[in-house]
Structure 1
Amino acid sequence: MELDRSGRVLAALSVAPALAMAGWLMAGLPLLLLGRFAPLPMLLLGVPAAALLCWAGTRQAGKVVEATVWQVAGVVAVAAASAVFNGVMHSEQLIVRRDPATYAQYAAWIAGHGGLPISVQPEAFGGADPWLLFEGVGFYGVDGGVAPQFMPGAPMMFALGHWLGVPFAVPAVLGGLAVLTVAGVVARLAGARWAVLAALTFAVSMPILYTSRTTFSEIPSLILLFGGLALAHDALGRPGWGRGLLAGLVFGLAVLVRVDGLRDVLPVLAFAGLLIAMRRSSRSTGSARPYGALGLPLAAGLVAGAGLGMLAAYLLARPYLSYLSSSVRPLLFICGGVLLLTLAGTAAAPMLSRIRLPRWAPAVGAGLVVLLMAALYVRPWLQTVTRDPVTPEDRRTFAMIESIQRANGMPADGRLLYFENSLHWVIWYVGLPVVVLATIAAAVLVRRLLRDGTPFDWLLPLAVIGWTTVTTLLRPEITPDHPWAARRLVPIVIPGLILLAAYALSRLRTRRWWVTAAAVLVVLVPPAVTSIGTAFTPVERGEAAAVEAMCAELPPDASVLVVERVTGDRFTQLVRGMCDRPAAEVKRAGAETAPEAEVRRLIERVRAAGRVPVVLAAAPGQVAPYGPATHVIALVTRQDERSLVDAPNGTWGLGIDVWMAVAR
């Protein structure tokens, strides 16, 4: 009874984060679309929705996880320690240099204004003008204002921190909940004995530390995807509409957090089709297939959740989708192909059920798993992935890679993408033993599933982990400096390989203490060693205080003209969203700063509109022509290392200066 009770507690705790997030997002999206995303409406709608889904998803769990009180306490302790540690070491990325600050500005705007698009107030500059640029890095111009890059799911979560007065705490709390979610899946599929080790290995891995300290979308996506796996596992024990619908809904809402979520949930669609096919074939043959009843509700929930995500993408992130069109269009075609194959397979289920795999299929399937991982390992010696710059985005990436290569003392060649090293990235962050154990476990599971269809519980997790891991490692599609590129491994690859490694350890079937101790050392030490170099050094601290001080220097009725490129990229939206002053960048006509004559003309237009013209730039000489220069930001802090061929083991210095002139 104690095992059952503790197991039910662990099962409930590990799905509650995904269910609560699903309820919050489902209530928040309509309010955001209506421009009413605010504390009171979310208190009245979001909190009850989260509580309702938690109640529906945790009552009368289907399959009971066997766990002791100490195992549950260990998992909770690791999750809590992770949240506290990353909360203490949190980052303050508000100045727009890379994606976290874009997410932070997105969250700050919707927390304070309740909707999109972002208002740019051209009337504060005397009306629209061809020399005024309101969009910028991470923010696209649309009719009526500016649309932030990215999907709205993660910013709707981060907005809660702004309302509670702790904007930097939410990522760390979500990181702790991710530890709990992953541990719950491990307990279900590999046994609670290894859940604490898996939770600790996951928590100390550098990419998890990295994405749990600031506003990334990968951790919220992970919670939904692994929460969906846990819910689907529980639903297999009690097939029915309620549980299947919830599992599918949680999976589908991953699309609301990241566009890549559409790729990650494709195996769920195929799995739902398989369950429907199993039910149809069982009716034609008269055999009992209890899992089949789960297919329709799982598919319905998936379509509903993903449909909300795609609706949000169309209404709120259309420019972002256009920017990603070279990746999104092929993904949509793949989704269509998977859907057609699923429908065809379901329709032909009675006929297909009579087909028997040849005897050699299990061994070949297992061998292909090992061969694929071996090919990814030796890929750096067989291939060099390059891309010649064609689009403006390609050229920016080319220039960035060359600058990183020079900083690392390497020959400059911006065509290099380093994607051939992707499996070696994984080995940096989780260690070779975890990768080897995971490969063995995957091969064993594939062999068993092809031989007799057992363990059926593993089919969906193995499909999701295998599909996303292979597609991610083949084409990470990210600027390849680390720890930046490590974020691609967070939602599925790292937790998935740790789950498989835990399953491999569970097959040891020994209670000898030294075996457990050896397993702990072999699995835990490599990721911990890699993380030590950066784990205790927070980055970009001091930005919040610097921004607050700058905002205090701006006159209340200021209209801000940013006349220099770097300052424009970093501060235009920040001034607009966090200082609550109208801001625009003045076009530079190919130069580093805007033409003085045009700036003076715009200054007069601002005055004519009854406002105070303020000029911002990076150096005193760039604002001095317009008035006395004031040093409003002089920040010296630390930033992430940018390593290309080795695991990052430290941080770099970062200095940011902003000068202001109140135009005479």
Structure 2
Amino acid sequence: MELDRPGRVLAALSVLPALAVAGWLLAGLPLLLLGRFEPVLAALLGVPAAALLCWAGTRGLGAATAGGTTQKGVENATETVVSPVMGRGELRSFWGVLAWAWPVAGVVVVAVASGVFNAVMHSEQVAVRRDPATYAQYAAWIAGHGSLPVPAQAEAFGGADPKLMFESVGFYAVDGAVVPQFMPGPPMLFAIGNWLGAPFVMPAVLGALAVLTLAGVVARLTGTRWAVVAAVAFAVSLPVLYTSRTTFSEIPSLILLFGGLALACDALARPAWGRGLLAGLVAGLAVLVRVDGLRDVLPVLAFAGLLLAMRRFGRPQGVLGLPMLAGLVAGGGIGMLAAYLLARPYLTYLSGSVRPLLLICAAVLVLILAGTAAAPALARIRLPGWAPAAGAGLVVLLMAALYARPWLQTVTRVPANPDDRRTYEMIVQIQRANGMPVDGHRLYFEDSLHWVVWYVGAPTVVLATLAAALLVRRLLRDGTPLVWLLPLAVVGWTTVTTLLRPEITPDHPWAARRLVPIVIPGMILLAAYALSRLRNLFERHGPRVHRWGTALAVVLVLVPPAVTSIGTAFTPVERGEAAAVEAMCARIPADASVLLVERVTGERFTQVVRGMCGRPAARVARTDSDLAPDAEIRRQIERVRAAGRVPVVLGAEEAQVALYGPPSRILALVTRQDERSLLDAPNGTWTLEMEVWMAVA
């Protein structure tokens, strides 16, 4: 069966974000490596590349949703097809088209409303306190200079000196230059906003595209009517609002991962070599956005191996195995190459987790080769009759164990390196601010499933668990619906591994970002499937039960996340930072070399001064206090003066700079910051005050 026009529109719209993002990244990365990531060149290459992928990914798209596929064994139709043979002028044709049009229009309205709302409530994280400002500074630099690494400009301070540090939070010093911490994918996207004069709007645009992407996957797997419900539940969830308002990597990662799933669904419905290649490529490029993408795409690698094995039995889907594997290896390989060339210190820092992931990927590839060779023998293996029920039971038991984990385990870590020590100290500070017992060893990871309940609601988690159990049972029983195998594997694998070890400072809403790429959209996807099954069940008990039962189930899915979000949804954080930094830059002399002498000021503003103010900046080494020694500051001042430049000293307080010249306060900002909650969902914001004092020596 073919979809009618509105259905095809939704199917196409929902893969356009991932295809466009993939095209832009594929064109932008070579330019960045060549030092030519400039607006004109990027547009000349990136826009055609994005358009080409969009054309290739949507060409002939007709069988896109659960009921619109020609593949046998896929989930029963759920109001996804309007018959194309209705008579001209028939009233039912009008109502059929209307029934199709409202879900499509509803998804678009939700996505646009989400984008507009988050753009209005956008954050301005410029001073480098946490990751968003690092991404913002990264994007600002490549948007303005088109190349990496960032020159340290040691000559502006009289040359390199062991007491002069050019690194700061989020930026490593390497061979006389400065290297940003993270992967280049998100900054290449955020740079578009810098070029267009709206640097804080791009995250909201990406957030709106993420709503559209998830809705497309839901429509394909459960039916278009549930796409609207899923879009609303996703858009109002606090972690999605949080990561759609500032420069995080999680939303671009979600677009690529779920876009890859949508493309894989389309490829299974109409097997073609090009569709498999695109699905693998788009999913693999998630590694260019986040190194964690290596873990997230492991199920795609295994699924490609399964398709290779299916080819030996003449299954039409088997043709997708090799191109999907090739696309995945290409996309992931591009990401790892970018990490090696542009973020090697970050890659080294994460080597403890990256190396095992690479070894697992290699092992899966070996298993794919062995499994393909042994496919005929493996096909003769029959699961025992109790396996489907046991699989479903294990899903429920696993979720129950994760929920009961706080009563069974307290996750702790003894600091073993400087990064662990900083995490320890930060947790202690948060505990004191919240009036809690002080224990910096606690990581609160045992509460991870409770975090999910905060943000999507207990009904959604319960429905998702039941849906996963039902799907596992069906897949183990008869291998259907095959179209669900990859989404279920990706969602299940990443959800479990993320919840077991979130590996993030556990204050909220900060820690909530870890749930955004897969966990929250995955829960909503599975809950939408459960809703579709519940609706069919209600329908058997008469129209009243059908109508009211379905309405109640939808309300239970939508209300809890909205209630959790109310406390912070209408309060933008860190507003005014951009204007304050711009005013600060205007006060620093054009021929200055800036010495940052206090710890917090140096951490927050070294790259800001270098990247946004365009002045050479360096931190003066400290010993056992937050302030550099006076003698050392004076020595560095003389070195700057000898280099023919104006020495400028920056600190956090007047007294810290007054010894070196007339002090002036060049930045004074009182704004709001995120709450730091450890045991409850965040429901407000905290005050944030920043000051920078300057003395021209």
TM-score of the two chains, using structure 1 as the length reference: 0.98
Task: List per-residue Cα deviations over 1:290-328 (Å, max 9, x = no partner).
Answer: 110010000000000000000001111110011112222
| Counterparts of 2:548 and 2:40, CA distance in 1 | 55
Do structure 1's residue 81 and structure 2's residue 107 form an aligned pair?
no
* Cross-structure match for 2:84: none
| Counterparts of 2:425 and 2:202, CA distance in 1 | 34
Do structure 1's residue 386 and structure 2's residue 412 form an aligned pair?
yes
Do structure 1's residue 556 and structure 2's residue 594 form an aligned pair?
no
- Check whether the contact 2:64–2:265 (CA below 8 A) recurs between aligned residues: no
Q: 31-40 vs 343-352, which deviates more?
A: 343-352
Q: 135-144 vs 457-466, which deviates more?
A: 135-144
| Counterparts of 2:392 and 2:3, CA distance in 1 | 34
How much does 1:64 deviate?
3.5
User: Paired residue for 2:143, among 97, 102, 111?
Assistant: 111
| Counterparts of 2:570 and 2:130, CA distance in 1 | 21
Do structure 1's residue 636 and structure 2's residue 664 form an aligned pair?
no
* Cross-structure match for 1:586: 620
* Cross-structure match for 1:190: 222
| Counterparts of 1:412 and 1:134, CA distance in 2 | 34
| Counterparts of 1:314 and 1:56, CA distance in 2 | 30
Task: List per-residue Cα deviations over 1:377-415 (Å, max 9, x = no partner).
Answer: 101000000001111111110000011000000010000
* Cross-structure match for 1:374: 400
How much does 1:335 deviate?
2.0
**For 1:127-206, what aligned pairs fall within 5 Å after superposition?**
127-206=159-238
* Cross-structure match for 1:539: 573
How much does 1:3 deviate?
5.6
| Counterparts of 1:74 and 1:62, CA distance in 2 | 20
Task: List per-residue Cα deviations over 1:528-583 (Å, max 9, x = no partner).
Answer: 00000000000000000100000000111111000000000000001000000000
Aligned residue identity for 1:564 = E
- Check whether the contact 2:531–2:554 (CA below 8 A) recurs between aligned residues: no
- Check whether the contact 2:3–2:63 (CA below 8 A) recurs between aligned residues: no
- Check whether the contact 1:104–1:155 (CA below 8 A) recurs between aligned residues: yes
How much does 1:329 deviate?
2.2
Structure 1 gap segments, 5+ residues each = 283-287
SS in 2 for 1:61: coil
How much does 1:271 deviate?
0.2
The percent of aligned pairs where both chains have the same amino acid is 79
User: Paired residue for 2:529, among 477, 488, 503?
Assistant: 503
Task: List per-residue Cα deviations over 1:315-363 (Å, max 9, x = no partner).
Answer: 1111001111222222222222222222221221121111111111111
Task: List per-residue Cα deviations over 1:41-75 (Å, max 9, x = no partner).
Answer: 11110110001100110110152433711110000
Aligned residue identity for 2:210 = A
SS in 1 for 2:200: coil
* Cross-structure match for 1:53: 53
| Counterparts of 1:178 and 1:628, CA distance in 2 | 51
- Check whether the contact 1:198–1:498 (CA below 8 A) recurs between aligned residues: yes
| Counterparts of 1:400 and 1:484, CA distance in 2 | 13
* Cross-structure match for 1:308: 334
Do structure 1's residue 264 and structure 2's residue 296 form an aligned pair?
yes
SS in 2 for 1:555: coil
How much does 1:516 deviate?
2.8
How much does 1:144 deviate?
3.6
TM-score of the two chains, using structure 2 as the length reference: 0.93
Aligned residue identity for 1:98 = R
| Counterparts of 1:173 and 1:166, CA distance in 2 | 11
**For 1:27-426, what aligned pairs fall within 5 Å after superposition?**
27-61=27-61, 63-65=63-65, 66=80, 68-280=100-312, 282=313, 288-426=314-452
Do structure 1's residue 517 and structure 2's residue 543 form an aligned pair?
no
- Check whether the contact 2:3–2:62 (CA below 8 A) recurs between aligned residues: no
Structure 2 gap segments, 5+ residues each = 66-79, 82-99
How much does 1:520 deviate?
2.1
SS in 2 for 1:537: coil
* Cross-structure match for 1:528: 562
Do structure 1's residue 659 and structure 2's residue 685 form an aligned pair?
no
**What is the aligned length?**
657
Per the alignment, do residues 170 and 64 of structure 1 end up closer, same or farther by CA in structure 2, a change over 3 Å counting?
Answer: same
Aligned residue identity for 2:199 = P
Task: List per-residue Cα deviations over 1:21-56 (Å, max 9, x = no partner).
Answer: 000000011110010001011111011000110011
SS in 2 for 1:507: helix
Q: 237-246 vs 195-204, which deviates more?
A: 237-246
Do structure 1's residue 467 and structure 2's residue 499 form an aligned pair?
no
| Counterparts of 1:326 and 1:405, CA distance in 2 | 28
C-alpha root-mean-square deviation of aligned residues, in Å?
Answer: 1.1
| Counterparts of 1:629 and 1:241, CA distance in 2 | 67
* Cross-structure match for 1:5: 5
SS in 1 for 2:615: coil
- Check whether the contact 2:668–2:690 (CA below 8 A) recurs between aligned residues: yes
| Counterparts of 1:590 and 1:10, CA distance in 2 | 60
SS in 1 for 2:466: helix
Task: List per-residue Cα deviations over 1:168-222 (Å, max 9, x = no partner).
Answer: 0000000000000000000000111111011000000000000000000000000
Task: List per-residue Cα deviations over 1:450-477 (Å, max 9, x = no partner).
Answer: 0001001000000000000000000000
Aligned residue identity for 2:222 = A
**For 1:601-616, what aligned pairs fall within 5 Å after superposition?**
601-616=635-650
Task: List per-residue Cα deviations over 1:414-439 (Å, max 9, x = no partner).
Answer: 00000000000000000000000000
How much does 1:595 deviate?
1.2
